[in-house]
Each structure stands twice: as structure tokens, then as C-alpha cells.
Amino acid sequence: MTDDLHYKTISELAPWIRNGVMSSVELTESQLDRIDRIDGQLKTYATVMADSARAQARVADEEIAAGNYRGPLHGIPVAVKDLCATDGVRTMGGSAVFADNVPDFDSTVVARFNEAGAILLGKLNLTEGAMAGYNPKLDVPENPWKESYWSGASSSGSGCAAAAGLAFGTLGSDTGGSIRFPSAACGNVGLKPTWGRVSRYGVMALAESLDHIGPMTRSAADAGIVLQAIAGLDPNDPTTLPHPVSEMTASLDAGVKGLKIGFDERYASEDVEPELATAITESVKIMESLGAEIVPVTMPANLREYLAAWEPICASEAAAAHASTYPSRSDEYGLWFREWLRRGASLSAAEYADANVLRAACVGEFRVTMRGIDLLASPSTGAAAHPVTPGDMYGTIQQELDPWDFFRFTVPADFSGLPTISLPCGLNGDGLPLSLQFVGHHLSEQLLVQSGHAFERATDFHNLHPPV
């Protein structure tokens, strides 16, 4: 059909599939061929489910031909982070400890992909336990923009696969930034939903009170389509929200005229790479030119102190999540995550409680920052992708996470459970992606998709692809 079929969006492909211009079998085979040709270099997939994907595609074509079209994901190849339980398929969570873990059920997000008629190509690589370091026995995804550059940590396989045209939509998880980090590093759209908007049933936990599951795609509209399919109340996850799921693309062309976008210029530029800071400022000006009102705001003055609460909360909850295998099988974990679990297990209840008091204060102050605005604009990260070595990635060189450098644009929305969207907003001088973030109010994902689409219509950054 086209030489760049792999870079088409779900929005472009869905009418082709619905109208029989292309079959799901043809589209699936094209993706499996591309995975076979280039994923040996990029290492995005932990497990390719070729046989079941082909079977799903055949069923999708039969259903559509019979007039049983399920919606825009019907017949579309997607992939999920290898934290998501998949019936009969190993789910490793990036850890050799779980190399033989084969669930006998589907996580809710996988089940909902199946209900939408999507074609599951496979499971995507990630850091061990969804933290910062990789297990040395497992593959490390390569950033498709530049070899040996950071690919975004935890959901790196999801970000790389979406960027390189190895799936039309992927799922990532975000506990401290891991939908936004790989989206920024790989030049994708990442949509972190409101906490509780998407079920975590069957998804291996890092920190239950912080974990979010969401889509990574090549357009804002596609992120809305994927979120529409996976969101909603789930009786298997009592933390899911009972609110009806909005039609995520219903207001796609409504624009941003009259929207109030908060912007703290100091927050968006202090300790930020100059090229990125400039790109964010220019992006905000674009939104203003589209009719949005830019409102000066101030982020919490104690943000550095508040960010320090993330580590004890995350590490403590990670130790609880891995209690059945740590410390009893500690030698099977990689150095980075083993040390993370050790830290978590050594923390006292008082230290965990103190951290949650700081978290609550941060959430309270962040609510004040968000008062009177519809969205908050900022970078998704403080810098473009940086070079990495095996020592960095496996943790043989232990590096402390500086919360200010690493988490200042991501953790406030994880603490508060607010939804965010990350959007490509240019390339730096080395040809690496730069990323803009909008933070919304609870359950404002439809507005985030609408605003992201408006930005895309005024720019062409989402059509930039890596030189794979």
C-alpha cells in the first residue's frame, strides 16, 4: 500500500481496515516482517506472539467482513509492556526471577485490547521491576534515534517500538515518569491517565499507590483511541474509578481557544538544557497563537524537598510487591533492582509515613498551582536522551537518582494522580527528540487529547521519525 505503512497512525489505518482497503492479516504480516528485520538491532520485544497474532488477525477480518466491526482498534496490531499478564505467555517484568512466569489469565488491559479486536504482537522489554536498571540476563532496548543513547528507562521497549514502527500503539506504566521518559527520549506521544482510570489488575506492581498504565502512540488521537479501549471501572481492581469513560476523540477538532494554560517559566527553564527550554517556550507561544490564554503560575517552593519523598514510598512499596521473591531469591535480581529492594526493605514504617506526609503536602500545593487553569505546560524531562554504557544500564556503576534532575517534571503528577500528555516538540542539535508536557485536572484526558491534537495540527513534530 505504501512504503511507510509502519509509520501510519491508528486513525489513518482504521478506515482502511473497516472498509476492506487492507486486511488485518496484511497489516499484521507487515508488522511481523518489520519486527523480524530490525528488532534484532533494537531489542524492543521480550516475546513476539507471531502465531497468535496471525490467528487474531484472521478472526478480525472474518468479523469485519460479516459486519461486526468493533471500533478503531479492530484489526490493528499493538503491543504491551511485559508487566501485563497474558494468558499462556511468559510475563517477566524485566527480571530473570520471573523468566518462567506464565500466567493462566489476562490482565484487564490485555483483555480489553482483545475485546476491542486489537492484534497483540507481543510483550515489550523494560527495566527490571519497572525501575531504573536492567537485568543483565535480559535485552536492553536501543533508542532508535541514536545507538547507545538512553531510551527512557522503564517503558523503554514500549517507547522504542512505537517510535520505530514496530507496533501502532503500545502500553507503558508510569510510577515516576516511565510513560513520559521513553515518550520524550523516543519522540512519541505518551498519555498518563488519572490514577485509577485504567485497571492495574494483572499488571506487575512497582509501587501500587503510584503506578499508572497508559498508551504510547504516534499521535494524540491514537493515544485517545487506545485509552478509550482500556479505561474504566474493573471489579478486579477496587482502585479503579467508577466515573464513565469520556469519548476521548469526541472533541478532537475543538481547538484550544479560550483554554487557560499555566506556565511557570522558571520551572520550565531552570536546570533545563537550553535547546529544550527554548522549544518549550516556543511551543507555549504556538498554543497562545491558537487562542489559548497563557497564565503565569508558580510551582511549589518546596518541590525539591517534596520530591525526596518519592524514593522511600516507591522503594517500600516495591519491597512489599516483591516479598515472595525478595530476599529469598535476591541473587537472581540484577544489581540495580536488588539494591532498590534492599533499600525498601530497610525503611521503617515511620520513614514511610513521613514520606507520605511530604507527598500529601506536595499534592496540596500542586492543587493550588493548578487552580484557575485548565492545563499546566512544562517539559516532559529536563534534557534530551543522553549517552549510556552497559555499566549505567545494569547498575554495575551505582548512581544515585537526583530527584530534582530526574523527577521534577513527572513526580508531581504521579503523587497527585493527575493526567498528563507528552508531545514531540522538536529535535535538538544532535537530532534527538524534545518533548512538551501538559498536565490536566482529574479525568481531563479528553481535553489533553484535544489540546495535543491542536498542537499537532499547528506543527509537524509528530511526523518526525528515527533513522532506523
- Helices 310-321 and 335-346: angle between axes, nearest 10 degrees: 100
Q: Which helix (H) or strand (E) holds 448?
A: helix 445-458
Cell of 334: 540484577
Q: Which of 8, 11, 43, 81 is catalytic?
A: 81
Cα separation, 223 vs 304, in Å, equals 31
73, 229 Cβ separation under 8 angstroms: yes
Region class of 129: left (phi > 0), else alpha (psi between -120 and 50), else beta: left
3-class secondary structure for 372-397? Answer: CCCEEEEECCCCCCCECCHHHHHCCC
Neighbouring C-beta atoms of residue 136, cutoff 10 Å: 16
249, 225 Cβ separation under 8 angstroms: yes
Residues forming a β-bridge with 89: 86
Tell me the one-letter amino acid at 340: W
Cell of 456: 499537532
By DSSP bridging, strand 212-217 and strand 420-427 are unpaired
137 noted as active-site residue: no
Tell me the one-letter amino acid at 287: M
Q: Which of 11, 154, 155, 378 is catalytic?
A: 154
The residues, ordered by sequence, that sit 6+ positions from 328 with a Cβ below 8 Å of its Cβ are: none
Cell of 411: 513526580
DSSP state of 250: T
81 noted as active-site residue: yes
Q: Which of 11, 24, 178, 435 is catalytic?
A: 178
Closest CA to 200 of 97, 102, 130, 122: 130
Cα separation, 348 vs 352, in Å, equals 6
Closest CA to 300 of 364, 345, 219, 246: 364
178 noted as active-site residue: yes
The residues, ordered by sequence, that sit 6+ positions from 48 with a Cβ below 8 Å of its Cβ are: 32, 35, 39, 121, 122
Cell of 55: 490467528
Q: Where are the alpha helices (DSSP H) in 43-127?
A: 50-65, 108-115
The residues annotated as belonging to the active site are: 81, 154, 178
